[in-house]
Structure 1
Amino acid sequence: MAQIDYFFATLSPYSYLAGMRLEEIAAKHGATINYKPLDIIALFGRTGGVPPKDRHISRIEYRAQELVRQARNLDMPLNLQPAHWPTNMAPSSYAVIAAIQDGSGDVGKLCHSFLRACWAEEKDIADDGVIRDCLEQAGFNPSIADSGLLVGAETYAANLEEAVDRGVFGAPFYITPDGQRFWGQDRLDDLDRHLAEMK
């Protein structure tokens, strides 16, 4: 069974625009997904990238146009200037890591719930109430938000180190068992074709 290592940030608009397509592709090919939330701003700094706010105006303007286009193409709601962006990604990332350890709900749905909360619902994903709501919507006991914080912090940091070591430089980022790397939600069709070829 193929495994897809999925590096993402709970605050990334492009991870949001991926929707649940990765989960659909994995199910189609009988693959499993290893969810690896990370600190995207730290990743930029480690791999030659620049945080959105510090980019040249031409890149800022293009990003704004492209996000709107992609959202329209995908028929997904998107607030280009969400009320709670940027915010602290760590609490929601720790919740994802706790959910992976717990295993009782739908991790993919949880990840998308956090992303949708930020980019479509004007919610602060660093807020404890929002985190608990997202956990509950995805079939987890909200109380797991209080558990495994040390493991969450250690795993979150380890995911960043692994990402740097494996050539990840943005989010969403997908790596297949044969080392093929796919960057961006607009490469999901390529990932789909590659998984078909691996069979």
Structure 2
Amino acid sequence: MTQIDYFFATLSPYCYLAGTRLEEVAAKHGASINYKPFDIVAAFGRTGGTPPKDRHISRIEYRAQELVRQAKKLDMPFNLKPAHWPTNGAPAAYAFIAAQNAGGGDLGQLAHLITRAVWAEEKDIAQDDVVRACLQEAGFDPALADSGMLVGAETYARNLEEAVERGVFGAPFYFVGDQRFWGQDRIADVDAHLAGDL
């Protein structure tokens, strides 16, 4: 079975805009998805990137236009300036990792619910009640928000190291074998690659 390694960030608007399209592509081709939540801001500093707030004004302005355009194109609700961004995305990532280890729910939906909470619902994913609600809606035990913190932190840190080693510099970032795909607008390319057309 083909595996897609998916490096995603709980705070990324582009991961939110990816929705569950990757999961649809994986199901279409009988591929599995290995989710790897990681600290995108730390990755920026190690791979030549700049956090959004520190970018040149021309990049900030373009990002603002492009995010709104992409959301409209995808017919997804989107708030360019959410009330709780930036926030601490680590607790949600730890809970995701605990859910990944526990099994029993829908990880693709969970990733989407966490990012949607930030970019469409004005919720703070650093808050336990928000993370619990996401877990429950995706079919996981909400108590996972309180468990596996140490394992979550270790895995989160390990995912960052792996991301940097493998050349990840943004999110969402997808690997199919040695092929790299960066951005929610490249999911169609992942589809084409899995079909043998790219």
Normalising by structure 1, report the TM-score: 0.98
Provide the residue aligned with 1:10 in structure 2: 10
Q: Deviations over 1:122-152 (max 9, x none)?
A: 0000100000000000000101111111100
In 1: Cα distance, 2:91 partner to 2:52 partner: 21
- Cα distance, 1:49 vs. partner? 0.1
Provide the residue aligned with 2:185 in structure 1: 186
- Cα distance, 1:74 vs. partner? 0.3
- Cα distance, 1:162 vs. partner? 0.2
What's the Cα RMSD here? 0.7
Q: Deviations over 1:28-48 (max 9, x none)?
A: 000000000010100000000
**Structure 2 counterpart SS, 1:86:** coil
In 2: Cα distance, 1:114 partner to 1:189 partner: 23
> Which amino acid in the other structure matches residue 101 of structure 2?
Q
Normalising by structure 2, report the TM-score: 0.99
Q: Deviations over 1:133-186 (max 9, x none)?
A: 000000001011111111000000000000000010000000012x00000000
Consecutive unaligned residues of structure 1, counting only runs of 5 or more, are none
Identity of aligned residues (%): 75
1:23-42 paired onto structure 2 within 5 Å: 23-42=23-42
In 1: Cα distance, 2:155 partner to 2:56 partner: 33
Q: Flag as ranges the 4+ runs of structure 1 deviating above 6 A.
A: none
Consecutive unaligned residues of structure 2, counting only runs of 5 or more, are none
Provide the residue aligned with 1:78 in structure 2: 78
**Structure 1 counterpart SS, 2:76:** coil
Provide the residue aligned with 2:158 in structure 1: 158
In 2: Cα distance, 1:190 partner to 1:142 partner: 35
**Structure 1 counterpart SS, 2:195:** helix
- Cα distance, 1:8 vs. partner? 0.7
**Structure 2 counterpart SS, 1:159:** helix
> Which amino acid in the other structure matches residue 174 of structure 2?
Y
In 2: Cα distance, 1:144 partner to 1:126 partner: 14
